[in-house]
Structure 1
């Protein structure tokens, strides 16, 4: 980031900013010398958002900042350099009291590691105030810092595959509460019934960055109270939905069909990824074809198999993967149409009440997108109807019998002309352009060459969280582990086994493996159409290519 910047207010503030690393073409990773500097930067950017700023993700020693364009990112980098990182934190603070039953599976282990004994651990945990420094890992998960280091214990050597929701835990200098069942390696010392994440609240996260937490030991069922200050959070009603009609019924859901729009950016500080359609260009095309705004919700269909029945007359369009379509008339519709029809992809078509649409197996690509004139309606979570398979936000995957409400088309909207939907060629490797990752210095030149020179194979273990790639394992040039820090869609992480993982729509907000490269924004939709067994090759993007808008093409 070579923009001209103002100088920080003091030399001490300048020393707190130890580096700014590119994290793709729309994000930077700011390295800071202390948690206080992290919280100061996060606070200032949250209180005074800059043009183009999307997400600010704080971690122990870094802040990841994402933007909506490369130009906005350059301005953000310059702004960060100008800030006084000694400035006090401006975050609102609410006191949250959590009642805990201290009977965790690792309480004895923590007692031995600290030398405090069981009662001493409980006394130390309840006898100090904790501050929510930052969020991550999962919606509602907050990293809490204490007033002293008496409970600083290492994580378990072997993580559990499932930690129950409500588990109260210690990990390094932090304490936290698991908001839902998930894998985890922290030391479990107790449990609570507190609802850490509830979309029925105006603020879904019970504990937000900047809040103060007090733990209280109880013998019976644990409960929670939240003491509100003048700036506290009050309960709110869910927004009223616009009028909609029951438009479609799911008869067969196929392998996986989910409702998706363009996602919910801006909530990463609460542990919520943007999610949304994997192939966003395909969803936009489907909406254009039926006369919708590009961000309306449609159906993402994995590997075909979806069967829908129209409850009222509908106008549809299917884009993305190349799939055969079949419309079968019912007895009630034979007066209007008598023959089985095979509509074309990438063009609008009618589905009359009573007719059934069957989406076949793709002949090219992997995911298809069904746009419905008026857009799919129903409740929204944090401003989006997208299904997030990792966090559990949004509607569940479609099941047989699901009724899909359809909204009212905008007055004056018209259907679009057919559009070509380019797809990867199964006979050659799909090329994804990358920029250096923020932790490329964890790998030597030979490893970087191997990463770019070989063809990788998409593993069957891939999903909406990310593409797992098989090939010659990559080795690190550094020992030890990386502290968790913010991640972006398109980041290529390298776990200890050396097999890269390309993060996609439902990726975790933070990660602890070094990122060797980041796929440029313009190429991200390509990965959504890569089936298991497909070949992928990475190539370095030129400076001009890093500033491209997304193009609907698949091969360099």
Structure 2
């Protein structure tokens, strides 16, 4: 008689997300397949990890319903039964092939036979769009390199722990390289950009040479009609909208405006829908020229505005104003705050990528950072009027940011958790759209073992071995291997977006959501303790690797 299946447990991941702990990797893959194809109302994203599934919902009520469904779903199995078999041709000539052969005792030829002679399963995505952690029944157990490479070529076939993967684009990495492929793991020219989906079966086929398709080289279409031209981009100016919700399971981060409220306010002022694309500028010093007549509004960080033309004048931030043909808007250096948002009536009409016009700086999706001379198309004017301005709120001297504790706060000494909430933290100059990096008194961990990779959401406060927290933001990887001590409330992410380097902040506790009220029917439908830690002792893949494998590590 077989042993009873381990009951799933659930932990809060902020007010609108939860982490479901599964029996093992296979259970996590199957549960992810069921949830992501079930059409659950209010489900925003679903991300599988090494032994967990993260679900993110639009509302707390929707989250409770999704969690109940996850806890009651059958154990294991093959998910939806829609898994495909994908064959990837590989030339086995990787720089680390001989070293892997020596480490495993198989020799280089034995490593090739072991890697190509069995079927792998695409378990979950993370690190970059299309980067899938694949596992096999008899997978090789190989350590990462002691010194990660600063650049791994796209198409590199690699091993780390019991996982195999293909690097979809050139990026840093610490995995062992055993070969290369011409397969495009993530290609926006395809109807389905990701070559793999969670649960797919993968066959690596040895070949002597690769047939590579020439990439498309068509440049951007010329801009016609009324548009804006970037004369000076400042430190960083990006196109942003509401982002790419729904693709986290493929390794695609949500992206979108860091200060969503300021972006929506700018759109409201010029009569756009709240999710229209705007410009997000870091620390001001942005200059735009008008080709045709436009209506603009500037919100977010406070910065002086000047319209340069035949009769120069100074618009009021947070108020809609006209920018006539030939005039130039100059946004000065920010006086308070960090990010300025510029909306134009009709929206910035660059081509969407995966349903969004947002720039993802980590994955390289969407338009690149704007440069001098770039022309920005403007969409047709909406059939709505501009709106009256609202007075901007006064920023606090040392703002308080709400954090829901968990899911891994039990990896830290109680004194460390208290220190996290008691002390003031300083935002470092290395912060960006991927993560807000903090400096202060390091937090002590009581568990020093590796955390198997699991899904994340914007706002997760990861704590690497340095003990200094990193708050994940909109362009962060969708999975991570550092324990998350808490999750910033979504409404408070705007506070972090508007803090300049050197600013100080503190965290305050927020209540955890009620994930699943007790219900009849046994343990599958009852709410577990929010900090249950009955992780299985077997089938334990490695966590995310050194600093260059996960950009936040």
Query: Normalising to structure 2: TM-score of the pair?
Result: 0.88
Note the 1:492-503 alignment, pairs <5 A: 492-503=461-472
Distance 1:20 1:441 in 2: 14
- CA 1:86–1:195 in structure 2 vs 1: closer, same or farther (change >3 Å)? closer
Q: How far has the Cα of 1:342 moved from its partner? A: 0.3
**Equivalent residue, structure 2, for 1:175:** 164
- CA 1:154–1:543 in structure 2 vs 1: closer, same or farther (change >3 Å)? closer
**Equivalent residue, structure 1, for 2:247:** 267
**Equivalent residue, structure 1, for 2:491:** 522
Higher relative contact order (CA 8 A, sep 6+): 2
Note the 1:55-74 alignment, pairs <5 A: 55-74=45-64
Q: SS at 1:93's partner residue?
A: coil
2:181 pairs with 1:197: no
**Equivalent residue, structure 2, for 1:166:** 155
2:318 pairs with 1:318: no
Q: SS at 1:64's partner residue?
A: strand
2:352 pairs with 1:380: yes
Q: How far has the Cα of 1:223 moved from its partner? A: 4.7
Q: How far has the Cα of 1:180 moved from its partner? A: 1.0
**Equivalent residue, structure 1, for 2:142:** 153
**Equivalent residue, structure 1, for 2:408:** 439
**Equivalent residue, structure 1, for 2:386:** 415
**Equivalent residue, structure 2, for 1:406:** 378
**Equivalent residue, structure 1, for 2:98:** 108
The superposition leaves residues 6-27 of structure 1 with CA deviations (integer Å, 9 ceiling, x where unpaired) of xxxxx99984334201011111
Distance 1:452 1:317 in 2: 37
Question: CA contact under 8 A between 1:244 and 1:408: conserved in structure 2?
Answer: no
Q: How far has the Cα of 1:152 moved from its partner? A: 2.2
Q: SS at 1:245's partner residue?
A: coil
**Equivalent residue, structure 1, for 2:275:** 295
**Equivalent residue, structure 1, for 2:527:** none
Structure 1: 5+ residue stretches without partners: 1-10, 225-237, 330-337, 547-556
Q: How far has the Cα of 1:49 moved from its partner? A: 2.5
The superposition leaves residues 101-149 of structure 1 with CA deviations (integer Å, 9 ceiling, x where unpaired) of 2111111121012211111111121211222122111101111122423
Q: How far has the Cα of 1:496 moved from its partner? A: 0.2
Distance 2:391 2:81 in 1: 48
The superposition leaves residues 144-169 of structure 1 with CA deviations (integer Å, 9 ceiling, x where unpaired) of 122423x2222223322322211101
Question: CA contact under 8 A between 2:425 and 2:504: conserved in structure 1?
Answer: yes
Q: SS at 2:378's partner residue?
A: strand
The superposition leaves residues 270-294 of structure 1 with CA deviations (integer Å, 9 ceiling, x where unpaired) of 0001000000000000000000000
- CA 1:545–1:206 in structure 2 vs 1: closer, same or farther (change >3 Å)? closer
Question: CA contact under 8 A between 2:5 and 2:75: conserved in structure 1?
Answer: no
The superposition leaves residues 25-62 of structure 1 with CA deviations (integer Å, 9 ceiling, x where unpaired) of 11101111112211221111112031111111101101
Query: Normalising to structure 1: TM-score of the pair?
Result: 0.88
Q: SS at 1:407's partner residue?
A: coil
The superposition leaves residues 330-368 of structure 1 with CA deviations (integer Å, 9 ceiling, x where unpaired) of xxxxxxxx4211000001000000000000011110101
Q: SS at 1:441's partner residue?
A: helix
Instruction: Tell me how large the CA RMSD over aligned residues is.
Output: 2.1
Question: CA contact under 8 A between 2:128 and 2:168: conserved in structure 1?
Answer: yes
Note the 1:15-164 alignment, pairs <5 A: 15-149=5-139, 151-164=140-153
Question: CA contact under 8 A between 1:263 and 1:384: conserved in structure 2?
Answer: yes
2:284 pairs with 1:304: yes
Residues matched between the structures, number: 508
Residue of structure 2 aligned with 1:361, choices 333, 347, 350: 333
Note the 1:447-462 alignment, pairs <5 A: 447-462=416-431
Question: CA contact under 8 A between 1:283 and 1:319: conserved in structure 2?
Answer: yes
36-45 or 252-261, which moves further after superposition?
36-45
2:229 pairs with 1:249: yes
Q: How far has the Cα of 1:484 moved from its partner? A: 1.1
Distance 1:291 1:16 in 2: 53
- CA 1:446–1:80 in structure 2 vs 1: closer, same or farther (change >3 Å)? same
The superposition leaves residues 402-432 of structure 1 with CA deviations (integer Å, 9 ceiling, x where unpaired) of 0000000222x1000012222534xx21110
**Equivalent residue, structure 2, for 1:282:** 262
- CA 1:86–1:494 in structure 2 vs 1: closer, same or farther (change >3 Å)? closer
- CA 1:81–1:324 in structure 2 vs 1: closer, same or farther (change >3 Å)? same
**Equivalent residue, structure 2, for 1:6:** none
**Equivalent residue, structure 2, for 1:370:** 342
2:504 pairs with 1:535: yes
**Equivalent residue, structure 1, for 2:398:** 429
The superposition leaves residues 180-216 of structure 1 with CA deviations (integer Å, 9 ceiling, x where unpaired) of 1222221110111221111110110112222222212
